[in-house]
Amino acid sequence: MTTPDTITWEQTESGVVVLTFDDPAQSVNTMTAAWSASFAAALDRLAGLGSELTGVILTSAKKTFFAGGDLGDLLATTAERAGELTAFANGAKAMLRKLETLGVPVVAALGGSALGGGLEIALACHHRVAVDAPSIRIGLPEVTLGLLPGGGGVVRTVRLLGLDTALDKVLLPGTTYRVGDAAALGLIDRVVPDAEALIPAALEWISANPGATQPWDRGESIPGGTANTPSIEAVLPVRSAALRNRHKGAPMPAPANILCAAVEGTQVDFDTASAIETRYFVELVTGPVAKNIIQGTFFDKQVIKSGASRPEDFPTHRATFAAVLGAGMMGAGVALSCALVGMTVALKDVDLAAAERGKDYARKVLGKQVEKGSRTREDADAILELITPTASVQDLAGADLVIEAVFEDPDLKRKVFAEVLDVVAPDAVLASNTSTLPITDLARDLPRPEDFIGLHFFSPVDRMELIEIIVGDKTSDATLAKAFDIALQMHKTPIVVGDGRGFFTSRVILQRLVEAAAMVGEGVHPQSIEQASLQAGYPVGTLALLDELTLSLPLKIRGQFREVAEQNGGELAAHPGDAVLTTMVEELGRPSRLAGAGFYDYVDGKRAGLWSGLAEQFPRTELQADLTELRDRLLFAEVLETVRCHDDGILRSTADANVGSLLGIGFPTWTGGTSQFVAGYPGGIAAFVARAQELADRYGARFTPPASLTER
């Protein structure tokens, strides 16, 4: 079977060959076996031209220049196939090395984004020209996928920019730059206004630089020096410590591998440095963390955004006029998010002053963006003009989207909807931004339950990417399709879940919160709980998070679950964390950060250390805490509840679980999400079940693995 040709060839009268990447089997160009074969053949043909060849230009027929390695291939690569991956990586690098040592000037003409392997190809050229378009991005974001640039990206950026700049600006943060910023950094050499100017600019440079070579092939030193340079060597221990501190002990090996590959590579020749880079790359690809991250943050997210949860056969919908009911923190954020994508917004509250305060939030956020230079004053003013504060129902006339964002009181929510139904569009989407209240119940007395749906936003709304769409018993497929489209219109990632108290995200995070409270009651030192949270990979300590959310919130939700259980003739199993939270809220009056007192003390609203009175209220055990045990309890509490959500029909897919947990409740990135945690658990599902049972034997039935897992 022959592989398709992924590269087209054109030679000019002056002897310059233009190679255009254009894989007929894919919408983007990636480093597949077909590309490898095509590129190898093209290089052989170039080498055979001899003196007839005066230069080479690499460009693309796709919207992007080149998208890098095929993540599907990387995901499928096991430790047993490490040799195959090593050979493929070394083969690709050998081709790029052949390209940059052809003896003629080579230019990358970038009419689209060059990310990952795409930029690595461009870095193997002697000159890089890019179109100054706002959509184009330049960078090496591999670290965000748990990987490192394995096509020479580490070696070439270090030799081009210097160790410090390469690490701090490109490799470790995984930043993707606009073209102008990439040029200022040194990743791009020339910027042109449009695609038509690319090839002429490349030809001009080739004509002016017939003897072009790479700086590392001219014997030039690495900018700033090598790892043995005293000024650099002195800060290497600080760099290593900073990496450990950033990840708090969570298993995130990619940054460490990048640092090692970069530092070690400065002390050897180019080809040896390239071999070092390959070894660190293969170690990451064949390890579990990168696979988890790729699955949860890339493939599952791709599944969701492709519309897998959207009902078929409904036309694409765009909302134009949003009525936001409630101008508090959530409503204000929703209003701004709607305006940011061009919707007209009526922001309603009980009085005009309250509504104006809601618009003030948009003024503040946009004002900061203007100060930072990320938005013009004119643009900010145009967005603000779209938001109209009001206390009048009549100002909502004709709205095709209603988003209610008032307090979590079902009677109040029904009341504000009843007030507006006669004036908004007859086919308007009616959405409640509730985090726990069942949608079916909220729609009970409304005349249009088929148009009613849950849109659970996360705070701060304008920065949080996730929307949890909750489908009630009577919600129509047409309304779900509209809601899904609206979420995408707002540049959000929508997960679709079934109806039930707490839905998915609130129900799952609740388990971690009360588990941390239970640890306090057991006499575990609070600092150990926070350290275990950070070592697990959570962004903040769980007790600190409890203070942010308020300690009364999990008590309230647990109370609601208790009521539902009793109504159904059962009872909610007691959780040892309930008593701790009740004591903190009702007896000690320490409910939250907002109140100035929780598990932490606060000074002027800022965290000022754990409350010293915790030891007296909850006497400490003399046994030293096992951080691994504490970490597992926090993780397993959320993961096991995710399994129950699948069993109860709340979750419709593992993709929704993974993306929802990563984007909505801060589940650790290295796991790939709550469902992927099970799938990627060392030893498989059987090992996960065994560990869960161990925790159940020690701490209670809440850790008992559900039958759906034990049967597998």
With vertex at residue 148, the alpha carbon angle to CA 235 and CA 266, rounded to the nearest 5 degrees, is 45
* Torsion sign over Cα 661, 663, 664, 668: positive
DSSP H or E segment with residue 404: strand 401-404
DSSP H or E segment with residue 230: helix 230-233
Cβ-proximal residues to 379 (8 Å cutoff; 6+ apart), any chain: none
Tokens representing 507 are 């129900």
Please pick, among 247, 456, 575, 646, the residue that the annotation labels catalytic.
456
* 334 neighbors 362 (Cβ within 8 angstroms): no
Tokens representing 392 are 């009048």
* 251 neighbors 63 (Cβ within 8 angstroms): no
* CB neighbour class for 570 (10 Å; exposed up to 12, middle 13-18, buried from 19): exposed
456 is catalytic: yes
d(CA 377, CA 453): 36
Q: Which residues is 324 bridged to in the sheet?
A: 347, 403
d(CA 72, CA 60): 22
Nearest to 656 by CA among 331, 414, 296, 404: 296
SS3 627: helix
Nearest to 635 by CA among 661, 599, 597, 614: 661
d(CA 573, CA 558): 10
> Phi/psi at 398 (nearest 5 deg)?
85, 0
- C-alpha distance across the termini of the chain, in Å: 39
d(CA 463, CA 150): 32
- For 167-202, letters b (16+ CB in 10 Å) and e give bebbbbebbbbbbebbbebbbbbbbbeeeebbbebb
* CB neighbour class for 658 (10 Å; exposed up to 12, middle 13-18, buried from 19): buried
* 206 neighbors 55 (Cβ within 8 angstroms): yes
Q: 56 vs 49, 115, 254, 620, 694, CA distance in Å?
A: 12, 21, 34, 71, 62
Q: 661 vs 296, 491, 499, CA distance in Å?
A: 10, 18, 17
Tell me the residue length of the chain.
712
d(CA 356, CA 92): 59
User: 244 in the Ramachandran plot: left (φ > 0), alpha (ψ -120 to 50) or beta?
Assistant: alpha
* Torsion sign over Cα 627, 630, 632, 638: negative
- C-alpha dihedral, 259 to 265 to 267 to 272, nearest 10°: 150
Q: What positions carry a catalytic annotation? A: 456
